[in-house]
Structure 1
Amino acid sequence: MIVLIVSIVLLALILLRVPVAFSIMAASILGLGLLGGLSNVVGVFAVIPTSAVGSFSLSAIPLFILMAHLVLESGALGAVFDSARTLVGRVRGGTGIAAVVAGAGFASVSGSSTAAAATLAHTSTRTMVEEGYSQRLATGTVASAGTLAAMIPPSILLVFYAVTAETSIGETFMAGLLPGLLMATALGLTVYVMALRGHAPGAHRSPLAQKLRAVLGLAPVLLLFALVVGTVFFGVTTPTEAAAMGCLGGLILMIWRRRLTLDRLRAAILGSVVSSGMILAIIFAAYVFGHFLAESRMTPAIVDAVSALEVPSALIMALIVLLYLLLGFFMDQMAIIALTVPVTLPVVEALGYDPVWFGVLIILAAEIGLITPPLGLNSFVTARASGIRLETVFLGAVPFIAAMLIVVVLVFVFPEIALWIPGLMQ
Structure 2
Amino acid sequence: MTLFLCLILMLVLIIIKVPVAFAIFFSGAVGILLGNSLEMLLFVVGYSVPSAVNSYTLAAIPLFIFMAQLVLSSGVLDELFDAARVLSGKIRGGTGIAAIGAGSLFAAVSGSSTAAAATLASTSSSYMMEQGYSPRLSTGMVAVVGTLAAMVPPSILLVFYAITAEISVGKMLVAGFVPGALVSLALVSVLFLYAFLSPAQIPGGESYTWKQKAHKLKALWPIAILFSIVVGTIYLGLATPTEAAALGCFGGFMLSVANRKMNVNVLIKCLKETLSSSVMILFIIVGAHIFGHLLVESRATVTLINWIEGLGVEPIMVILILAVFYIALGFFMDQIAIIALTVPVTVPLIMSLGYDPVWFGVLIILLAEVGLVTPPLGLNVFVVSRVTGVPVEEVFKGVLPFIAAMLSVAALVILLPDLILFLPNTM
For normalisation by structure 2, the TM-score amounts to 0.98
| Superposed counterparts of 1:39-78, under 5 Å | 39-78=39-78
Offset from partner CA, 1:236-294 (integer Å, 9 cap, x none): 00000000000000000011111111121111111111111111111111111111111
| Superposed counterparts of 1:164-203, under 5 Å | 164-196=164-196, 197-198=198-199, 199-203=201-205
AA partner of residue 6 (structure 2): V
Counterpart contact for 2:67–2:245, Cα < 8 Å = yes
AA partner of residue 16 (structure 2): L
**Is it true that 1:397 corresponds to 2:394 in the alignment?**
no
AA partner of residue 348 (structure 2): P
Alpha-carbon offset, residue 141 of structure 1:
1.2
In structure 1, the residue matched to 2:261 is 259
| Superposed counterparts of 1:221-260, under 5 Å | 221-260=223-262
Alpha-carbon offset, residue 29 of structure 1:
0.3
In structure 1, the residue matched to 2:92 is 92
Alpha-carbon offset, residue 203 of structure 1:
3.0
Alpha-carbon offset, residue 90 of structure 1:
2.6
In structure 2, the residue matched to 1:356 is 358
In structure 1, the residue matched to 2:131 is 131
In 2, Cα distance between the equivalents of 1:287 and 1:373? 29
AA partner of residue 103 (structure 1): G
**Is it true that 1:299 corresponds to 2:285 in the alignment?**
no
Alpha-carbon offset, residue 54 of structure 1:
0.9
User: Could you say what secondary structure the match of 1:375 adopts?
Assistant: coil
Counterpart contact for 1:328–1:366, Cα < 8 Å = yes
AA partner of residue 64 (structure 2): F
Alpha-carbon offset, residue 192 of structure 1:
2.1
The number of aligned residues is 425
Counterpart contact for 1:97–1:192, Cα < 8 Å = no
User: Could you say what secondary structure the match of 2:37 adopts?
Assistant: helix
Counterpart contact for 2:3–2:294, Cα < 8 Å = no
Alpha-carbon offset, residue 143 of structure 1:
0.3
Offset from partner CA, 1:6-46 (integer Å, 9 cap, x none): 11111111111100000000000011111211111111122
Offset from partner CA, 1:127-180 (integer Å, 9 cap, x none): 000000011110011101000000000000011111111111111111111001
| Superposed counterparts of 1:108-147, under 5 Å | 108-147=108-147
User: Could you say what secondary structure the match of 2:355 adopts?
Assistant: coil
User: Could you say what secondary structure the match of 1:330 adopts?
Assistant: coil
Offset from partner CA, 1:332-384 (integer Å, 9 cap, x none): 11111111111211111111111111010011012111111111100100000
AA partner of residue 193 (structure 2): V
Ranges in structure 2 where 5+ consecutive residues have no aligned partner:
none
Offset from partner CA, 1:98-136 (integer Å, 9 cap, x none): 111111111111210000000000011110000000111
| Superposed counterparts of 1:270-285, under 5 Å | 270-285=272-287
* Percent identity (aligned): 51
In structure 1, the residue matched to 2:340 is 338
In 2, Cα distance between the equivalents of 1:282 and 1:244? 23
Question: 194-203 or 312-321, which moves further after superposition?
Answer: 194-203
| Superposed counterparts of 1:400-419, under 5 Å | 400-419=402-421
Alpha-carbon offset, residue 325 of structure 1:
1.0
Counterpart contact for 1:96–1:191, Cα < 8 Å = yes
In 2, Cα distance between the equivalents of 1:404 and 1:126? 24
AA partner of residue 271 (structure 2): I
In 2, Cα distance between the equivalents of 1:228 and 1:335? 26
Alpha-carbon offset, residue 392 of structure 1:
0.9
User: Could you say what secondary structure the match of 2:327 adopts?
Assistant: helix
- Any runs of at least 4 consecutive aligned residues in structure 1 with deviations exceeding 2 A, and if so which? none
In 2, Cα distance between the equivalents of 1:373 and 1:276? 26
Alpha-carbon offset, residue 195 of structure 1:
2.4
For normalisation by structure 1, the TM-score amounts to 0.98
Counterpart contact for 1:307–1:350, Cα < 8 Å = no
User: Could you say what secondary structure the match of 1:308 adopts?
Assistant: helix
| Superposed counterparts of 1:308-323, under 5 Å | 308-323=310-325
AA partner of residue 242 (structure 1): A
Question: 397-406 or 338-347, which moves further after superposition?
Answer: 338-347
In 2, Cα distance between the equivalents of 1:315 and 1:329? 22
Alpha-carbon offset, residue 89 of structure 1:
2.4
